[in-house]
Amino acid sequence: MTSHNSHIEILGGPERRRRWTSAEKLSMVQETYETGATVSLVARRHGIAPNQLFGWRKLATQGALTATSADEEVVPSSQYRALEQQVRELQRLLGKKTMEVEILKDALEATSGLKKQTLRSVSWPKGGI
């Protein structure tokens, strides 16, 4: 007769998925790198699918699992890319406005120089009339 060590975990309430903290995920990922351990073995031990653990390993190599341990707000990468695009657009507009200001300053200097020359040419002679 064979003996099977299996356990069933029943999740109560509306939540059907378990939530793992970043520390728990990192711990499981570290277990996969230990001598004699395999991803399948570690996954079985913790009751998760091996592909989930492979995904966490990939995230860990990219630094994604440790980034969330800073207790800072995490935003989706799509939102991050949209904000980066918005910053680039604002920088472009700022550069455009800066160039416009420089052109207007040059135009103002040129016109004020013309006004001075015009005023000199129309001014009364020193001796008066």
Q: What's the whole-number average pLDDT of the chain?
A: 80
Mean pLDDT to the nearest integer, 102-116? 82
pLDDT value, residue 100: 95
Cα dihedral across residues 41, 43, 44, 46: positive or negative: positive
Q: What is the pLDDT of residues 49-102, one digit of tens each?
A: 999 999 999 888 877 777 655 566 777 788 889 999 999 999 999 999 999 999
Number of neighbours of residue 50 by Cβ within 10 angstroms: 15
pLDDT at 39 exceeding the cut of 80: yes
Q: Is the pLDDT of residue 47 over 80?
A: yes
Whether the predicted pLDDT of 111 surpasses 70: yes
- Alpha-carbon distance values, 46 to 12, 42, 50, 65 (Å): 19, 6, 10, 18
- 67 touches 77 (CB < 8 A): no
- Most confident range, picked from 2-11, 49-58, 120-129: 49-58
The answer on pLDDT for 14 being more than 70 is: no
Q: What pLDDT does 32 receive?
A: 92
The rounded distance, in Å, linking the Cα atoms of 28 and 20 is: 10
The pTM score is: 0.43
Of 40, 42, 33, 34, residue with least CA distance to 60: 33
Indicate whether 16 pLDDT > 90. Answer: no
